[in-house]
Structure 1
C-alpha cells in the first residue's frame, strides 16, 4: 500500500514595497551597500585628488628647459639643439621629422646625457659636412646641395635700369592704346615707385594723384578688371622692349653673378614685377645664367615689398637659411624687405633711388662694379668660430 507524505508549505513573508533585497542586515547582502559603498566612493575620490595634485606638482616644477622643452617633459637623452642664428627655438628630442633651423649635435665618443644633464661630453671633434647635412640645411644653414650661400637679386633697377626706360615707357603706351589721356614723366614715375607692384601703382595714381582721369563707376583697385587689363598690356609692351635689346645690364652686375655662380652659390631674382617680365629680362640679358637663376615674382606672394614674404619664400624654396642669403637691391623698400627677412642686404643705387635712405642695408655702393665678391659679399655670411 502506497504512503503519501504531505510536506508543510513554507510561510511566505510579504516584502515591503521599495525595500531592496540588498538592504543592510539582509543575509543575502553582497557587501556593497550602506557604509561599505560610501567608503569605496570616498577612497576613489581621495585617490583622484591625490593623482591630480601630484600631476600639478610635477608640471609646476621648474625643470630644466633643455631636458623638458617648452611644453612638457622627456626624461631621456636629449638630441636636439638650436643652430647659430636660430635663437629661442626649442623642440622635443622626439621631434625629428622637421628640424627646421636646427640640427642634431655630433655624437662624440663617450658623450653621456642623462635627465637633461651633460655628465660626460666625450671626445670633442669638429663638425663635418656629413654630420650636419641630415637636416636639409647643411653646415651653418647651407643648402643641401653643398651651396654655401644664396644671392637674391631684385630685377628692376638692380639688373638693369628698366624702370625709367622700360616700365615707364610701357605704361604710357598702354595708357594711350586704352584711350587714357595720361602720361607719366620721369619725375612722377620716380614718386610712384615708392609703391610696390604695377597694379598697385596704377591704383594709387588714379585714386590719389589724378582721380579725374578715372571716369568709370567702379573705383580703381588692383583686382579691378580694367586695371588688370592695362597691366597685362603694359607687360606685353615691356617684354617687347626688353627683347629688342634696347636696355643694357647695369655695370658690374654680370660679373657679380658670375663670381657667385663660380663659388657655388645659388642664384635667384625676387621682384614685385610680373613674372613674365622678369623672365624676359633674365633670359634676354643673362642667357648664360637663365637655367641657374630661379625667378620669384609677381603675385607668387600676397604682400609686396617692403614685406619680406618674397625673400622668405625664396630662402625656403632654395633650401638656404636666411642668415646665408645676401640680397642685392636698389631701393629703400627693397632693403627693408631683405632686412625684415633676416638677410644681409647690399644696395646698388639706381637712377630713382640715389637720394633714398638705406638704413637697413649692410653695404651701399653706386653700382655693382664697386663690389669685391670676397670682401663685400662672402664676408657678410656667418662664420663658425671655435672657442
Structure 2
C-alpha cells in the first residue's frame, strides 16, 4: 500500500517554531506591553498542553492569578506576538527540522498530496512558509489553520476537514505530528501517525511513553548526513524517514 497523502503539523514538526519562535515572540509581546512575565522553556513546555495562542494566554493569566482578562488585552498581545513571530521568520531564525525538505520533495515527486493541519494562525503559517521559499510553500495543496476550526487539537476537526478535501481513503493518508494533542487528533480522525519528537519534547523513553499509540516515532525525519534515531516502529534503513518506509507502515496497519 502506498502513501497517497501526507498531512503535516507545523509547529515542532515542520520547523522548531515552538521554543525558538512562538515562545520568544510571546516574550517580546510581554516586553512591549510593559508586562513582567517571561516564559522560559520549562514554563512554555507546560503551557503547550493548551492548544491555541489565545487559549494559552488565558490559561496562563488564570494560573498566575490574573483571573478574567479583557479580550482587548489578549488581542493586543496576540497582535504583537504575531508581528514578533513574523520578524523572526523573516530573519531566518526558524529553520526547517532535519529531513523535512527532503521528504516534502520526495512526496511531491511521487505526486502525493500534501497539506498542513495546524492550530497556528494562518498569518504565522504563511510567515514561516514565506521564509522558506516558494518551492516549499507550493508543495502544500492547502492549509487547515487555527481559524478554520471550532475546536483545536486534540479535537480531530482539522484532520477531518483535511480528509474531506482529499481524494484518498483514510488508509492511504498519514499524519506527521510531534505532540500528544496532535497524536490524539490524528488518531481520532482515523489516521496513522508518525511522530517526530525533537528536543526538548522527546524527554520520555520506553513503551510506556505517551507516544506509544503512534505508528512510529523518531527524533527527526533524518537526512543523509544527519541520521534519525528510531524511538518506536520498524527499523529505518537508511536511518531516515522515507516514502518506502512510510508505505511499509501503512501496509503493516
TM tier, shorter chain? 0.7 to 0.9
Corresponding position of 2:236: none
Residues 352 and 201 of structure 1, relative CA distance in 2, 3 Å threshold? farther
Matched, 1:242 2:89: yes
Corresponding position of 1:368: 221
Corresponding position of 2:28: 173
Which has the larger helix fraction?
2
Q: Distance in 1 between matches of 2:124 and 2:130?
A: 10
What per-residue deviation string (whole Å, max 9, x for no partner) do you get for residues 289-330 of structure 1? 312312111220011111111011111123333222111111
Q: Distance in 2 between matches of 1:323 and 1:363?
A: 16
What per-residue deviation string (whole Å, max 9, x for no partner) do you get for residues 182-216 of structure 1? 111111001101111111111110002x12xx3xx
What per-residue deviation string (whole Å, max 9, x for no partner) do you get for residues 203-241 of structure 1? 110002x12xx3xxx8138xx232122112211110110
For normalisation by structure 2, the TM-score amounts to: 0.85
Matched, 1:196 2:196: no
**Which of 149, 157, 163 is the matching residue for 1:309?**
157
Matched, 1:344 2:192: yes
Q: Distance in 2 between matches of 1:253 and 1:166?
A: 18
Residues 340 and 240 of structure 1, relative CA distance in 2, 3 Å threshold? same
Residues 239 and 375 of structure 1, relative CA distance in 2, 3 Å threshold? same
How far the C-alpha of 1:347 sits from its partner, in A, is: 0.4
Residues 307 and 286 of structure 1, relative CA distance in 2, 3 Å threshold? farther
Q: Does the 8 A contact of 2:94 with 2:128 survive in 1?
A: no
Measured on the aligned residues, the alpha-carbon RMSD in Å equals 2.0
Q: Does the 8 A contact of 1:161 with 1:351 survive in 2?
A: no
What per-residue deviation string (whole Å, max 9, x for no partner) do you get for residues 216-268 of structure 1? xx8138xx232122112211110110011122111111111111111110011
**Which of 122, 129, 144 is the matching residue for 1:282?**
129
Which aligned runs of 4 or more in structure 1 are off by greater than 4 angstroms?
Answer: none
What per-residue deviation string (whole Å, max 9, x for no partner) do you get for residues 2-29 of structure 1? xxxxxxxxxxxxxxxxxxxxxxxxxxxx
How far the C-alpha of 1:382 sits from its partner, in A, is: 5.3
Q: Distance in 2 between matches of 1:155 and 1:358?
A: 18
**Which of 322, 334, 346 is the matching residue for 2:182?**
334
How far the C-alpha of 1:372 sits from its partner, in A, is: 3.6
For normalisation by structure 1, the TM-score amounts to: 0.56
Corresponding position of 2:38: 183
Q: Distance in 2 between matches of 1:231 and 1:350?
A: 26
Q: Does the 8 A contact of 1:336 with 1:360 survive in 2?
A: no
Q: Does the 8 A contact of 1:308 with 1:337 survive in 2?
A: yes
Whose relative contact order is higher, 1 or 2, with alpha carbons under 8 Å and at least 6 apart? 2
Corresponding position of 1:219: 68
Residues 278 and 300 of structure 1, relative CA distance in 2, 3 Å threshold? same
1:4-15 matches, within 5 Å, as none
Matched, 1:163 2:18: yes
Q: Does the 8 A contact of 1:332 with 1:353 survive in 2?
A: no
1:40-51 matches, within 5 Å, as none
3-state SS of 1:352 partner: coil
3-state SS of 2:212 partner: coil
Q: Distance in 2 between matches of 1:348 and 1:249?
A: 13
Structure 1 unaligned residues grouped into runs of 5+: 1-139, 143-147
